[in-house]
């Protein structure tokens, strides 16, 4: 096998856009697995108990991942110009995706930068998303994004409504509770923390109204919180149901035309 043919086969294995068959190539499945291990290590590394007990395992895995991703990065530079989108290697290397991969490689060899550098590795999650824009996931992604896009204004409006409600609830509770609890309700921004907790029905309970009037208003706020959940859910449900029907009608239409 000569170099040119090898380069074409590497390109088809590495670059999803150069692959003829549908789905991920075996090589890219390994890349996805590598990214998952990379992220798991970046997450676990922050925990002192894990570092103490599995320090050598972690360092070994990181070394292995570094070599794997360094080689993979090199291969991608080597075959970049086969993709008609890039006329020079440099054009490929400047893309945000390639730069991010380079940053991740650099964080491996700069331990002195501390844990903050490791956090960059979590950005590799976006690469899984990039690789996933294929096959059956691309269909589902389109459905989700179509539903969001088609109802963007309604969702924005319900967000504005939620924000108005939150501001109103925080202002009322500030007026009612600020004397009883100056620490928690002593200003509108402080009362906002309570309002978000309540309207999203999270309800940590670290800040709770104690006056009867405050509790009455808080009860009304909590009931409004149901609307805050019901409104976007209802909008999205309607949009999904609409998108599904449209997709079916399109298929039916194609089918009818095909038979004619």
Q: Name residues contacting a second copy, limited to 100-119 (CB under 8 A).
A: 116, 119
- Choices 67-75, 88-96, 100-108, 148-156 (CB under 8 A): range interacting with a second copy: 148-156
Of 70, 117, 208, 211, the one binding a second copy by CB under 8 A: 208
Q: What residues numbered 225-244 form the site for a second copy, per CB under 8 A? A: 225-244
Q: What residues numbered 36-75 form the site for a second copy, per CB under 8 A? A: 39, 42-44, 46-48, 50
**Closer of 63 and 125 to a second copy (Cβ):** 125
Q: Are 18 and 82 in contact (CB under 8 A)?
A: yes
**Closer of 102 and 125 to a second copy (Cβ):** 125
**Closer of 87 and 201 to a second copy (Cβ):** 201
**Closer of 18 and 43 to a second copy (Cβ):** 43
Task: Report helix angle 135-150 to 212-259, nearest 10.
Answer: 120
Rounded to the nearest whole angstrom, what is the least distance from the CB of residue 29 to a second copy in the complex?
Answer: 16
- Please give the full DSSP string across 41-95, using - where no structure is assigned: HHHHTT-HHHHHHHHHHHHHHHHHHHHHHHHHHHHHHHHGGGSTT-SSHHHHHTS
Q: Binding-site residue total for a second copy (CB under 8 A)?
A: 77
Burial 111-144 (b: 16+ CB within 10 A, else e): eeeeeebbeebeebeebeeebbebeeeeeeeeee
């Amino acid at each position: 096998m000569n170099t040119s043919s090898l380069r074409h086969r590497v390109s088809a294995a590495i670059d999803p856009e150069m692959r003829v068959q549908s789905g991920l190539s075996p090589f890219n499945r390994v890349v996805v697995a590598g990214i998952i291990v990379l992220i798991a290590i970046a997450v676990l590394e922050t925990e002192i108990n894990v570092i103490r007990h599995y320090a050598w395992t972690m360092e070994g895995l990181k070394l292995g991942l570094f070599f794997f991703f360094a080689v993979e990065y090199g291969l991608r530079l080597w075959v970049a110009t086969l993709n008609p989108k890039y006329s020079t290697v440099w054009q490929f290397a400047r893309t945000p995706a390639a730069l991010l991969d380079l940053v991740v490689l650099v964080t491996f060899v700069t331990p002195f930068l501390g844990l903050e550098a490791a956090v960059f590795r979590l950005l590799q999650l976006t690469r899984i998303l990039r690789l996933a824009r294929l096959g059956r996931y691309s269909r589902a992604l389109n459905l989700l994004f179509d539903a969001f896009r088609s109802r963007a204004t309604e969702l924005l409006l319900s967000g504005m409504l939620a924000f108005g409600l939150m501001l109103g609830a925080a202002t009322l509770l500030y007026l009612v509770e600020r004397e009883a609890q100056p620490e928690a309700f002593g200003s509108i921004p402080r009362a906002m923390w309570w309002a978000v907790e309540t309207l999203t029905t999270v309800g940590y309970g670290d800040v709770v109204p104690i006056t009867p009037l405050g509790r009455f208003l808080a009860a009304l706020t909590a009931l409004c919180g149901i609307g805050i959940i019901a409104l976007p859910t209802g909008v999205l449900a309607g949009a999904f149901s609409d998108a599904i029907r449209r997709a079916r009608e399109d298929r039916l239409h194609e089918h009818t035309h095909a038979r004619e």
